């Protein structure tokens, strides 16, 4: 194709060549993130993750898939819950090696911030809603699922290093090219099935979380991950 002057037409711009999948992953306006925004988004995302975890735990409507797995291992081994969480996190990070994932400051912050936020949030919820009724428990569970999905997109999208479990997610996405929602859903469903087989407990909120948190992460990433969730 040539222009009216006879010269070859200019090649399409890089932006115009962007595929729909890349646009959906990176958002409508893929702009670089400033360091201040990255740090703030990381911190707020981790705090939100801790609050969301406490909301689901206090709802009484079912734990998150990874928590179901933790419960199952605790029941089978008699180990303390904290040690099981630490052990699972370390094992998951071993899976990063073949996936070529690298830890960052966000990985360390994930362990510290979330653990510091959960207990105070549970303490507050126990005083505001000592025994949540069905309606209140349902609200806590659904709110926790949405908040956790948004928080995941926030701190992973900051690109300062994902947490152990989300590093597994981004590694599989990068390796396979599958959409985030599909990879997240497959991981959560697999984990909860293993947890149930080991004796962990779950409720309707666990099922909703397993199938619903992935799409929430995918949608929130449009605004919170302008450079995408994976490199």
Per-residue pLDDT reduced to its tens digit, 78-96: 876 667 777 887 788 888 8
Secondary structure E strands in the chain: none
Beta-bridged to residue 8, according to DSSP, are: 2
What's residue 78's pLDDT?
81
**pLDDT given at position 146:** 97
Provide the terminal-to-terminal Cα distance of the chain, rounded to the nearest Å.
34
Cβ atoms within 10 A of the Cβ of 43, count?
17
Q: What angle, rounded to 10 degrees, do the helices at 134-157 and 164-176 form?
A: 60
- For residue 5, the model assigns a pLDDT of 44
Report pTM: 0.72
pLDDT computed for residue 13 by the predictor: 41
Residue 185, CA distances (Å) to 61, 88, 213, 215 in order: 19, 19, 7, 8
Burial class (CB in 10 A: 0-12, 13-18, 19+), 193: middle
Residue 86's pLDDT is what? 74
Counting as low any pLDDT under 50, the low residues of the chain are: 1-29
Query: Quick one: DSSP state of residue 227?
Result: T
Give the integer Cα–Cα distance in Å for 26 and 33.
Answer: 12
Structure tokens belonging to residue 209? 């979380």
Contacts of 208 (CB under 8 A, 6+ apart): 62, 141, 142, 145
The predicted structure's pLDDT at residue 18: 42
Q: Is 135 helix (H, G, I), strand (E, B) or coil?
A: helix
Q: Contact, 114 vs 50, CB < 8 A?
A: yes
* 192/187 Cα distance (integer angstroms): 9
């Amino acid at each position: 194709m040539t222009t009216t002057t006879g010269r070859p037409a200019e090649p399409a711009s890089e932006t115009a060549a962007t595929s729909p999948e890349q646009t959906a992953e990176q958002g409508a306006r893929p702009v670089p993130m400033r360091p201040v925004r990255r740090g703030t988004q990381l911190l707020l995302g981790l705090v939100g993750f801790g609050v969301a975890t406490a909301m689901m735990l206090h709802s009484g409507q079912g734990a998150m898939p990874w928590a179901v797995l933790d419960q199952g291992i605790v029941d089978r081994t008699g180990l303390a819950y904290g040690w099981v969480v630490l052990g699972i996190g370390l094992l998951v990070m071993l899976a990063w090696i073949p996936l070529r994932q690298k830890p960052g400051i966000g990985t360390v912050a994930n362990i510290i911030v979330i653990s510091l936020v959960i207990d105070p949030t549970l303490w507050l919820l126990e005083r505001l809603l000592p025994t949540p009724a069905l309606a209140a428990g349902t609200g806590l569970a659904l709110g926790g699922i949405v908040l956790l999905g948004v928080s995941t997109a926030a701190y992973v999208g900051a690109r300062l290093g994902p947490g152990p479990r989300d590093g597994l997610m981004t590694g599989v996405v990068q390796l396979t090219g599958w959409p985030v929602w599909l990879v997240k859903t497959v991981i959560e469903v697999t984990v909860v099935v293993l947890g149930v087989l080991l004796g962990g407990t779950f409720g309707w909120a666990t099922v909703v979380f397993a199938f619903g948190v992935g799409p929430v992460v995918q949608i929130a990433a449009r605004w919170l991950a302008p450079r995408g969730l994976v490199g």
